[in-house]
């Protein structure tokens, strides 16, 4: 016995990883459908030793499906995720379309799996990649002392823009190496090779990018505490895969470095990297892994109630595909489908 699944956006970078993670975790599958736009329909893809033909997404494609894993742009999700839910499926959606809907749980299983007990619209939102790894690191610390404030600076990989972003970065690096003209940027806001971009997301009227606003609002919702103050600065860096974050956490009461380390050692989904292992905190070395890596834990010399952390994770796996599959695994415990 298994679950009847559908993967929407199956031919994209995250959709491909979803297939891979489902196989790696031996998710119990009774049947599976791979859905995409008309442009990608009729392609052949492999899953669990079998070949499947990608189908065009239609209402009928969701007939009898129990769980949908969806990775599409928000505008597409607003249409098809509702239809899939109306057809009786529970949709785990990777876009930004539903994250702040009060009737849609926004879930990181290591942090707030309990929120899956109520799914009024039949839709579960997968959070933003940069938020996911941060709250995985924050949750065990919050359990020691309530968090008052978080200041975070992100160093986000080109793959956050998908395959087109990585291909563009690679082309720019090749051009630099050959002293040739650098291709005009189309995926990113400017030349990324040898550079840092702080305006690689849509800018709001308040001077904050949409990525930064996501980190503020999503953190409060996932942690279940709207009083947590979050001050983010997000930047895109010339890294292919893996987001890094410098995080300063202020608590209501003092938390020692050793207390923080002990909590993180025992926390689900976290790998604590000690100071004598510097390579473990580089995005290059966490690519392809599902954990959130935390290290460089230091007392803030300017605030007795604050700590500094360095957090790294694979943005396409834990930041997207893996988290979605983990949500589906949590649903199995509640729904008892398989």
Please tell me the predicted confidence (pLDDT) of residue 280.
Answer: 66
pLDDT digits (tens, 9 = 90+) for 39-52: 888 999 999 999 99
φ and ψ at 201, to 5 degrees?
-135, 165
Please tell me the predicted confidence (pLDDT) of residue 34.
Answer: 97
Which pTM was predicted? 0.95
Concatenate the DSSP letters of all residues of 145-211 into one string: S-EEEEEEEEEE-GGGG-HHHHHHHHHHHHHHHTT-PPPPPSSSSS--TT-EES-SSPBPTTS-BHH
CATH of domain 3-128+320-335: 3.40.50.720
306 vs 327: CA distance, rounded Å: 31
Q: Which residues on adjacent β-strands are paired with residue 33?
A: 6
Residue extent(s) of CATH 3.40.50.720 domains in the chain: 3-128+320-335
Topology of domain 131-315 in CATH is: Dihydrodipicolinate Reductase; domain 2 (3.30.360)
Please tell me the predicted confidence (pLDDT) of residue 336.
Answer: 72
Query: Strand order in 29-36's β-sheet?
Result: 55-56, 29-36, 3-8, 67-70, 90-93, 123-125
**Is 129 among the residues known to form the active site?**
yes
Q: Give me the catalytic one of 79, 243, 291, 305.
A: 243
Residue extent(s) of CATH 3.30.360.10 domains in the chain: 131-315
Q: Give me the catalytic one of 79, 129, 303, 305.
A: 129
Please tell me the predicted confidence (pLDDT) of residue 338.
Answer: 57
Mean pLDDT by 10 residues, the chain (338 residues): 93 92 96 93 92 95 97 94 96 96 98 97 98 98 98 97 95 94 95 97 96 98 98 98 98 97 97 79 92 96 96 97 97 81
Residue 133 DSSP SS3 = helix
Beta strands in 19-122 (DSSP E): 29-36, 44-47, 50-53, 55-56, 67-70, 90-93
**Is 291 among the residues known to form the active site?**
no
Residue 141 DSSP SS3 = helix
Please tell me the predicted confidence (pLDDT) of residue 274.
Answer: 84
Please tell me the predicted confidence (pLDDT) of residue 14.
Answer: 92
């Amino acid at each position: 016995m298994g679950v009847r699944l559908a993967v929407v956006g199956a031919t994209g970078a995250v959709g491909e990883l979803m297939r891979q993670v489902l196989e790696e975790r031996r998710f119990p599958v009774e049947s599976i459908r791979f859905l995409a736009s008309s442009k990608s329909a009729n392609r052949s893809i492999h899953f669990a030793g079998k070949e499947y033909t990608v189908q065009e997404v239609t209402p009928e494609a969701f007939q009898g499906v129990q769980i949908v894993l969806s990775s599409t742009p928000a505008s597409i999700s607003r249409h098809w995720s509702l239809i899939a839910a109306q057809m009786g499926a529970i949709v785990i959606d990777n876009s930004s379309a539903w994250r702040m809907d009060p009737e849609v749980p926004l879930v990181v299983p290591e942090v707030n799996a309990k929120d899956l007990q109520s799914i009024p619209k039949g839709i579960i939102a997968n959070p933003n990649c940069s938020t996911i790894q941060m709250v995985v690191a924050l949750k065990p610390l919050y359990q020691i002392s309530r968090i008052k404030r978080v200041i975070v600076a992100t160093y986000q990989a080109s793959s956050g823009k998908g395959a087109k972003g990585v291909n563009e970065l690679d082309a720019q690096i090749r051009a630099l190496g050959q002293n040739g003209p650098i291709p005009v940027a189309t995926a990113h806001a400017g030349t990324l090779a040898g550079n840092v971009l702080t305006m690689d997301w849509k800018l709001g009227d308040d001077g904050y990018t949409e990525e930064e606003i996501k980190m503020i609002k999503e953190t409060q919702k996932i942690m279940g505490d709207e009083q947590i103050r979050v001050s983010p600065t997000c930047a895109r860096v010339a890294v292919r895969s893996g987001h890094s974050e410098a995080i300063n956490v202020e608590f209501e009461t003092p938390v020692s470095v050793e207390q923080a380390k002990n909590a993180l050692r025992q926390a689900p989904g976290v790998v604590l990297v000690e100071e004598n292992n510097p390579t473990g905190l580089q995005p290059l070395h966490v690519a392809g892994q599902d954990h959130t890596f935390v290290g460089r834990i230091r007392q803030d010399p300017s605030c007795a109630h604050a700590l500094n952390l360095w957090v790294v994770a694979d943005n396409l796996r834990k930041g997207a595909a893996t988290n979605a599959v983990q949500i589906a695994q949590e649903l199995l415990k509640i729904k008892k489908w398989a």
